């Protein structure tokens, strides 16, 4: 179940209340008149089945509740209620397969900011991977993969593309475009420093390392694993399975490949340098394409549920049109008005 805390302006709260009151997948509905002060309005609390959460939130946004008031979304871990069980049955579908799109967008948005902590984690992860490459240590390779924060912007970019959020996509691209060069530079400088103090092994020992060969010579399996990890990563985000996300981070070689670019440059091994670049590009492409594909499939199921809901009579009680969104209805009305005006005036463009 999903808990909604809604602050609605007084002129829209009655519509929102009717919508929620007549929706079978909503329960525990509470109305607090004039309880909100900033922004001013009425407070509505309710629980909604996860399968219908985004559908109901879309209706509330049609009522401009999100612009004139606010909608807070909270996950309910446990709820002992016969009414909640009935609401989940009325929604249909499986809660584990439902996607709360507003929640996913907000969660990925937090991980796409080009902050100091993001760049610091990128640099630290690449430096750990540098040591792992020099020592040929699989444990340290895994540690570097877990520390790396790069999957956040990749997931954010995928969500932005599917939801057509240009500004969100720009932020994610910027984080990736700056974060990886920072990590590569950190690995390069760190490797030079280790060589300067004679802590790094010689060139033959590095080039003979097993893991160096793995992350410097991409093949078909590099793309296949990245694609599988991209799908798994998106599913872990939409279904809130953090344990699965940890496995995704371990299975993708973006951070080791980025660190290997810096290490190869420090040793002037340009063949390995080019191979590591190809490995990084293959992993990023596989992750991104698979994540977008998975989200598109999930979005298709949501669109089908949303279209079915547009014909639900509960929308009439909320003052919303049937069969189309309010925005589409307004555009159609303006088009009809424009056509009639043009028909009355032969000189109208």
Identify the pLDDT of residue 35: 92
- Which architecture, in CATH terms, is 2-98? 2-Layer Sandwich (3.30)
> What are the C-alpha distances in Å from 184 to residues 133, 230, 286, 327?
13, 22, 20, 47
Identify the pLDDT of residue 173: 93
Pairing verdict, β 40-48 and 70-75: unpaired
pLDDT at 291 > cutoff 80: yes
If we measure between CA atoms, which residue out of 18, 22, 50 comes closest to residue 31? 18
Kindly report which listed range (172-176, 214-218, 242-246, 298-302) carries the lowest average pLDDT score: 242-246
pLDDT at 332 > cutoff 70: no
Kindly report which listed range (84-88, 132-136, 198-202, 320-324) carries the lowest average pLDDT score: 198-202
Identify the pLDDT of residue 94: 80
Q: 121 with 151: CB under 8 angstroms?
A: no
If we measure between CA atoms, which residue out of 169, 182, 183 comes closest to residue 109? 169
State the average pLDDT over residues 283-307: 92
* Displacement of CA 3 from its chain's centroid (Å): 20
Kindly report which listed range (150-154, 155-159, 211-215, 264-268) carries the lowest average pLDDT score: 211-215
Phi-psi region of 3 (alpha: psi -120 to 50; beta: other; left: phi over 0): beta
Rounded CA gap, 214 and 202, in Å?
19
Tell me the pLDDT of the chain averaged across its residues: 85
For residue 26, give the H/E element and its range: strand 26-37
Identify the pLDDT of residue 249: 64
Neighbouring CB atoms inside 10 A of 213's CB total: 13
Letter string b/e over residues 34-53, b meaning 16 or more CB atoms within 10 A of that residue's CB: eebeeeebbbbbbbbbbbbb
Which range of 60-64, 335-339, 345-349 scores highest in mean pLDDT? It is 60-64
Which sign, positive or negative, has the C-alpha torsion 38, 41, 47, 49? negative
Q: Which DSSP state fits 241?
A: -
Phi, psi dihedral angles at 71 (to 5 degrees): -135, 115
Identify the pLDDT of residue 348: 38
Rounded CA gap, 280 and 212, in Å?
13
Domain boundaries, the chain: 2-98, 105-302
Identify the pLDDT of residue 346: 40
Identify the pLDDT of residue 198: 86
Rounded CA gap, 252 and 1, in Å?
33
Write the pLDDT tens digit of every residue in 5-18. 999 998 889 999 99
pLDDT at 345 > cutoff 50: no
pLDDT at 344 > cutoff 50: no
Identify the pLDDT of residue 241: 66
Identify the pLDDT of residue 246: 59
Write the pLDDT tens digit of every residue in 98-151. 888 888 888 887 777 788 999 999 999 999 999 988 888 888 888 898 888 888
Q: Enter the pTM of the model.
A: 0.81
Angle at 23 between CA 309 and CA 332, to 5 degrees: 40
Helical H segments across the chain, by residue range: 10-21, 53-62, 65-68, 82-91, 101-110, 116-135, 138-147, 151-163, 166-196, 203-207, 210-216, 220-238, 242-251, 254-266, 270-310, 314-317, 326-344
Kindly report which listed range (128-142, 182-196, 240-254) carries the lowest average pLDDT score: 240-254
């Amino acid at each position: 179940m999903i808990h909604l805390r809604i602050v609605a302006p007084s002129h829209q709260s009655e519509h929102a209340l009717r919508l929620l009151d007549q929706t079978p997948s909503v329960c525990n509905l509470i109305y607090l008149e004039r309880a909100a002060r900033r922004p001013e309005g009425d407070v509505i609390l309710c629980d909604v089945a996860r399968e219908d959460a985004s559908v109901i939130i879309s209706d509330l946004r049609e009522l401009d509740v999100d612009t004139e008031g606010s909608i807070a979304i909270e996950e309910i871990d446990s709820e002992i209620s016969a009414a909640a069980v009935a609401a989940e049955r009325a929604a249909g579908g499986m809660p584990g397969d439902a996607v709360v799109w507003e929640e996913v967008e907000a969660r990925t948005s937090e991980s796409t900011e080009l902050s100091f902590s993001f760049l610091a984690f990128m640099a630290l992860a690449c430096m750990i991977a540098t040591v792992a490459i020099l020592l040929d240590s699989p444990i340290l390779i895994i540690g570097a993969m877990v520390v790396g924060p790069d999957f956040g912007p990749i997931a954010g970019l995928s969500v932005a593309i599917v939801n057509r959020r240009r500004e969100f996509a720009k932020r994610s691209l910027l984080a990736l475009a700056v974060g990886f060069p920072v990590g590569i530079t950190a690995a390069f400088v760190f490797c030079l420093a280790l060589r300067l103090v004679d802590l790094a092994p010689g060139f033959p020992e590095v080039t003979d390392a097993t893991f160096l060969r793995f992350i410097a010579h991409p093949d078909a399996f590099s793309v296949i694993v990245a694609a599988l990890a991209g799908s798994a990563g998106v599913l872990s985000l939409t279904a809130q399975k953090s344990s699965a996300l940890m496995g995704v981070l371990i299975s993708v070689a973006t951070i080791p490949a980025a660190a290997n670019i810096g290490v190869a440059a420090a040793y002037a091994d340009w063949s390995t340098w080019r191979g590591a670049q190809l490995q990084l590009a293959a992993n990023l492409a596989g992750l991104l394409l698979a994540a977008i594909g998975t989200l598109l499939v999930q979005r298709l199921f949501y669109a089908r549920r949303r279209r079915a809901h547009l014909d639900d009579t509960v929308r009439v009680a909320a003052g919303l049109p049937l069969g189309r969104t309010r925005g589409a209805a307004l555009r159609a009305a303006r088009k009809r008005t424009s056509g009639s005006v043009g028909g009355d005036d032969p000189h109208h463009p």
